[in-house]
Amino acid sequence: MPGPERLKDKPYHHDGPRPDCPRCGSSQAKPVVYGFVDVGEYLELDGRTPDFELGGLAPKSENWCCGQCGHRWKGV
């Protein structure tokens, strides 16, 4: 069986500029992370507040989620 994915390789934090929500204009966009995420383990590793939205196990093209209205969209 393959081991769990390395948490550090996942984009839990987006350090670059964030897009504004195309629906409500909020700047509270969060990256959408797909696949299995062990948040407890993540917190032990880093100690920072998780800043992502869980997208589920099946990857989709939407990679941003608005923290204000919940809208998801595909961006850079």
Residue 28 or 34: the one with the smaller Cβ distance to Zn ion is: 28
21 binds Zn ion, rule: CB under 5 A: yes
Helix (H) / strand (E) containing 46? helix 39-46
Q: Which stretch binds Zn ion (CB under 5 A): 3-11, 30-38, 40-48, 59-67?
A: 59-67
Alpha-carbon span 38 to 51, nearest angstrom? 14
Q: What are phi and psi of 46, to 5 degrees?
A: -120, -40
Residues contacting residue 48 through CB under 8 Å, at least 6 positions apart = 13
Determine which residue in the list 7, 10, 19, 26 makes contact with Zn ion, applying CB under 5 A. Answer: 26
Size of the site for Zn ion (CB under 5 A): 8
27 binds Zn ion, rule: CB under 5 A: no
